[in-house]
Structure 1
């Protein structure tokens, strides 16, 4: 399992590196190197922790993002996510390094971006600790005894992992120095919100107790906001 984690992480980072540096037209981009190193180290850290704490969840996290158990809409959504993510990284590389469409970001904002990326991973750590069923795809994991989780971060928001993803959305373009990348964040957030609503319909129909959970925890991403 650890070997698979390392291989998939390296391939994922290599793919991101090709997109970023290819669009940038140079390898002399310290912020991008730091971004990949930060993501890589923290992802391996949380993966190794999961291997000891919850290997079943790690197996789910390492599974393909398109699966037979998914609804058709979620398969299409995940394919769309992969395409948007790749296009987003290319735009960031073109903006920040090749054409310099954006004015340089202040060091404070770049540092804030790095902090947001780290906070995203740390938030995921708490999500995984609370929810053994936090698969990347929308499905009911009947074979693993899927049940409603309402403890930890799930006591405050119904989709705390999506809340963490918002930090990654904001942190990535800030760290890499791209205002144009940041301009995509509202659209990506809307897409994530759409998926959350569709996911809740599946859970409410197929997972015992989820409707009651929705009445107890009113907010999806951010308490008191939405």
Structure 2
């Protein structure tokens, strides 16, 4: 893959990230019914900045992955395509919508500044883990498939030495981070649904890799935990 293709893909990725955050912010403010919510503006700015930072890290350490993450893969598992879409709707649009209704329109709950700070700690940690996993894993595509066209192999370095699915593990921090940062206790309802879907995706992907990817069974025996060290 040439330099020009990588640069083009990087620009596309930045645009996709910007659109994603813009849509999430639009849902929040539409649900809130007003724009003068400083806490939300700060969060969406931080969200976009961390996404851009992740792309910069990928461009430096694993640039070809940017290209592959933008391509649709026809052989991706059908169940994962469905789960990914539902997870995105629930975990991004759902959380933003409920938080907007709560914080901006009805004021059902209010989480003070210390909770917001905890949310940002969770957010930054989740982005570090997710970006680290992408930086070391050239097969880190958004949907589940055995990448025979790319000589798919087991990755055992970086965070993969600790848990088998560090990308999903980052979601354990990502989903609670958003309600905390935005200040909405009720947003934990869609966050909880997204959390459950994440666990389900982890289970199904792990079973798929165990059955279809050469060397994964041996890796699973060595790295025993899927998401949380010492627990699961």
What is the TM-score of this pair, normalised by structure 1?
Answer: 0.93
User: C-alpha offsets along residues 80-102 of structure 1, whole Å, 9 cap, x if unaligned?
Assistant: 12321312211111011110111
TM-score by length of 2: 0.90
Q: Is the 8 A contact 2:133 2:159 kept in 1?
A: yes
Look up the match of 1:159. Answer: 165
Partners of 2:95 and 2:191 within 8 A in 1: no
Determine which of 95, 104, 108 is the counterpart of 1:101: 108
Residue number in structure 2 paired with 1:123: 129
| Mapped contact 2:119–2:181 kept (Cα < 8 A) | yes
Contact 2:76 2:145 in 1 (8 A): yes
Q: Secondary structure at the match of 2:187?
A: helix
Q: Which residue of 2 aligns with 1:88?
A: 95
User: Are the aligned partners of 1:60 and 1:136 in contact in 2 as well (CA < 8 Å)?
Assistant: no
**Separation in structure 2 between the aligned mates of residue 56 and residue 202 of structure 1, nearest angstrom:** 24
Superposition pairs of residues 137-216 of structure 1, within 5 angstroms: 137-216=143-222
Partner Cα distance (2:10, 2:205) in 1: 30
Residue 179 of structure 1: SS of its match in structure 2?
A: coil
Contact 2:25-2:96 at 8 Å conserved across structures? no
Give yes or no for contact 1:128–1:134 (8 Å, CA) kept in 2.
yes
Deviations 1:39-71 (A, max 9, x none): 11111111022123212211233335xx42111
Q: Distance in 1 between matches of 2:17 and 2:114?
A: 29
Q: Among residues 27, 42, 45, which one is paired with 1:34 in the alignment?
A: 42
Q: Does 1:59 align with 2:67?
A: yes
Are the counterparts in 2 of residues 38 and 118 from structure 1 also a CA contact under 8 Å?
no
Once the two structures are superposed, residues 95-144 of structure 1 have per-residue CA deviations (whole angstroms, 9 ceiling, x without a partner) of: 11110111x21211111111211111111222122211111110122222
Q: Is the 8 A contact 2:176 2:191 kept in 1?
A: yes
**Structure 1: any 5+ residue segments left out of the alignment?**
none
Separation of aligned partners in 2, 1:38 and 1:142: 37
Q: What CA distance in whole angstroms lies between the structure 1 residues aligned with 2:49 and 2:172?
A: 20
- CA distance in 1 between partners of 2:214 and 2:143 (Å): 19
Greater shift, 75-84 or 163-172, is seen at: 75-84
8 A contact 1:46–1:125 mirrored in 2: yes
Match of 1:222 in 2: 228
> 1:18 corresponds to which residue?
26
Q: Any idea what SS the aligned residue of 2:138 has?
A: coil
Secondary structure, counterpart of 1:180 in structure 2: coil
How many residue pairs are counted as aligned between the two chains?
A: 223
C-alpha RMSD over aligned residues: 1.5
Contact 2:125 2:173 in 1 (8 A): yes
